[in-house]
Structure 1
């Protein structure tokens, strides 16, 4: 149940990989690196369950393609900007009431050993970005 008393179901797409040129350093823009994105979409899937029709739900294949395109095009300095951009595209479908977008930057320019840099943003439909 969502915060608003409306049933909230979840579709998650994990591990969308793409090669992007996001970052504040010149070498990040020139060389690029892999980014991995997870998205969580909250929506009510009861109509789709009743109709058994893809038109009544979010097509997660299309969402994955849009996220991949966002990773690979239009470089930005900050992963915060990329995450917001992806959250906005997830919320563009009126059926999505909330989203969480996680950006993984496993090759971030950090001078000590590390596994991953991760940012997660959470957004609700109707909130201004």
Structure 2
């Protein structure tokens, strides 16, 4: 298994809306979600060149989140996380993606629930 780059690009608090949930009332309208992304990329070329072409397109990464939320209406936030991670791995330079999906207010008395997954090109799901 190839070693991952130590470098990371972090996108925190990507606000999105999606229809997600098991219960009928959750299926009636989209709800606010928040996504955090941690993308393993080799950033040395960009650091050396100071050229945007040598790094990850941050807008493209955020757009993946918005596209998945617009296309899917899953029961589980786990499904959103898996789909976002798979698509992020399709972006140039991304060797691994950690995706956290926050679903605030999903459980009464709990401020936030979240799932976090890490996926990489050359491995099974990570724990």
Separation of aligned partners in 2, 1:57 and 1:35: 27
What is the CA RMSD across the aligned residues, in angstroms? 1.8
Correspondent of 2:111 among 115, 122, 125: 115
Q: How does 1:86-105 map to 2 (within 5 A)?
A: 86-105=84-103
Structure 1, unaligned stretches of length 5 or more?
Answer: none
Return the TM-score normalized by structure 2.
0.88
Return the TM-score normalized by structure 1.
0.86
Query: CA offsets per residue over residues 65-115 of structure 1, 9 Å max, x none?
Result: 22122223321111111000010111112411111100000021x3x3111
List, as ranges, runs of 4+ consecutive aligned residues in structure 1 with deviation greater than 2 Å: 126-129
Separation of aligned partners in 2, 1:126 and 1:27: 39
Q: CA deviation at 1:7?
A: 4.1
Q: How does 1:1-129 map to 2 (within 5 A)?
A: 4=3, 7-108=5-106, 110=107, 112-127=108-123
Separation of aligned partners in 2, 1:99 and 1:49: 21
Q: CA deviation at 1:32?
A: 2.2
Structure 2, unaligned stretches of length 5 or more?
Answer: none
72 and 25 in structure 1: CA distance in 2 versus 1, 3 angstrom threshold: same
Q: What SS does the aligned partner of 2:27 have?
A: helix
